[in-house]
Amino acid sequence: MEIDEDLNLLPSSDDVTETNNAASTSKTSPSKTTVSQNQPPLTTNIKVNIGSYSYRESSNTIKSSVVGSSATSERLPAHTVTEDNQRTAVSDHLESEAAREEDLEESLSSSQSTELPTQKLSKVNCAEKIVICVDVSSEMNERRYRAKAGTSFSAMEIVKKALKLFISNKLSVCDPANKHSFAMVLMLDEALWLVDFTSDIQALFTQIDNIDCLQENDEEFDMSTLFDLILEKAKPPLISIEKNTAPPYTVRVVFIYGRSHCLPIFDSHESQNLLSGSPCFFMDIVYFHEPPANYNQAQDIFQELCFLDTRGFSYIFDFARTPTKVFDAFAKMLGHPLQRPIQSQAGFVLEPLPSLYDTAEGM
């Protein structure tokens, strides 16, 4: 799929592979999604219209193993960072992946896995407080993402467009009685609270347009300042798990990081531990990076970011080259954290919306 020069991108059916009917799919090319399951989807968590396409998330029946870097649905044992559409791992890793996939297929065919994390709360569509954390380092402004037509874009340009689509679609599918709200944080050498929680879409779009890459020194970022801010400004509610109480809201962090040479540090883990211990707190991660090499720390950074997922409910994506897959990732994050499947069991498919002619014919 070619990227439009104005970044009006839609996820492509080539980027998301539907293989619901695959009874036993063997290992394909590294950037493809392989699925082992032969029954139709039982549930549908979310269906969102994006332009002329309908993006549907189905759960409980699809077990995917994504080996490409743009959608890390199945976490690699060493949290390996890869380039989009290009596998850089050695052959022994591929063999271990194939063996692990066979184990997953056998486990699915025999019984439900007992090692998968499960939600302890009711799967209710309560309001979400979403904290969007955007890295404003100079690396986010480098124009290293290129379309097939030759046009180049920076990660910041892509993020701004993807965030607008994410916010507008998220607000369009929420319950009016439990409207989602968004706050924004900028990440320099420490976190800076920019916008308090609001559902005003125009105000949010204005703030997104005004984001500039301010940080010239990209060598340090203190993650503890981010968790301190979130605990102060967006503390998760206290609820009783034993009584299966529906929470009034959940707190989700969408963490967008774009540094290949700066390993995040912690001055203290106190706030992180308090937040991670709450069943109402979730954290999704989007990582932009240079292709992994000896001269950068992309591999180590990605591994550290994966370690932030202490309960197994995060959606984690990384991108080195392909800009269109960023929009796929943000579409996959539209599902409510209490209702969506864990990332390793999520399956996605793009469907063209029916035309007016087709609708009339079916009446």
Find which of 56-60, 140-144, 318-322, 328-332 is predicted with most confidence, using mean pLDDT. Answer: 328-332
Identify the CA nearest to 328 among candidates 319, 320, 340. 319
| Model pLDDT, residue 139 | 92
Residues linked to residue 265 through DSSP beta bridges, in sequence order: 222
Provide the CB-side half-sphere exposure for 82 (13 A, CA). 24
Q: Which helix (H) or strand (E) holds 58?
A: strand 53-59
Q: Is 232 helix (H, G, I), strand (E, B) or coil?
A: helix
Cα(323)–Cα(288) distance, rounded to whole angstroms?
10
Confidence grade of residue 237 (pLDDT, cut at 50, 70, 90): very high
Residues in the chain: 363
Largest CA-CA distance found in the chain, in angstroms, rounded:
63
Identify the residue with better confidence: 219 or 340: 340
Tokens linked to 219: 């060598």
> Cβ(61)–Cβ(109) under 8 Å?
no
Confidence grade of residue 31 (pLDDT, cut at 50, 70, 90): very low
> With pLDDT > 70 as the criterion, what percentage of the chain qualifies?
63
Note the pLDDT tens digit of each residue in 139-193.
999 988 887 788 889 999 999 999 999 999 999 987 777 789 999 999 999 999 9
Mean pLDDT in residue range 245-255:
92
Mean pLDDT in residue range 272-293:
94
What are the two backbone dihedrals, phi and then psi, of residue 48, each rounded to the nearest 5 degrees?
-125, 135
Confidence grade of residue 239 (pLDDT, cut at 50, 70, 90): confident
> With pLDDT > 90 as the criterion, what percentage of the chain qualifies?
44
Burial of 185 from C-beta contacts in 10 A (0-12 / 13-18 / 19+): buried
| Model pLDDT, residue 347 | 79
| Model pLDDT, residue 195 | 95
| Model pLDDT, residue 287 | 96
**Would the pLDDT of 270 be above 90?**
yes
| Model pLDDT, residue 99 | 53
Find which of 61-65, 98-102, 267-271, 351-355 is predicted with most confidence, using mean pLDDT. Answer: 267-271
**Would the pLDDT of 135 be above 90?**
yes
Note the pLDDT tens digit of each residue in 62-97.
333 333 333 333 333 344 444 444 444 434 444 444
**Would the pLDDT of 45 be above 80?**
no
DSSP string for residues in 155-223: HHHHHHHHHHHHHHHHHHHS-GGG--EEEEEEESSSEEEEEEEE--HHHHHHHHHT----BS--S--BH
Query: Please, which residues have CB within 8 angstroms of residue 32's CB and are 6 or more apart in sequence?
Result: 17, 67, 68
Least reliable range by pLDDT among 26-35, 133-142, 339-348: 26-35
Q: Is 299 helix (H, G, I), strand (E, B) or coil?
A: helix
Identify the CA nearest to 311 among candidates 270, 273, 257, 347. 273
Q: What is the mean pLDDT of the chain?
A: 73
Confidence grade of residue 200 (pLDDT, cut at 50, 70, 90): very high
**Would the pLDDT of 361 be above 80?**
no
| Model pLDDT, residue 103 | 53
Mean pLDDT in residue range 187-207:
95
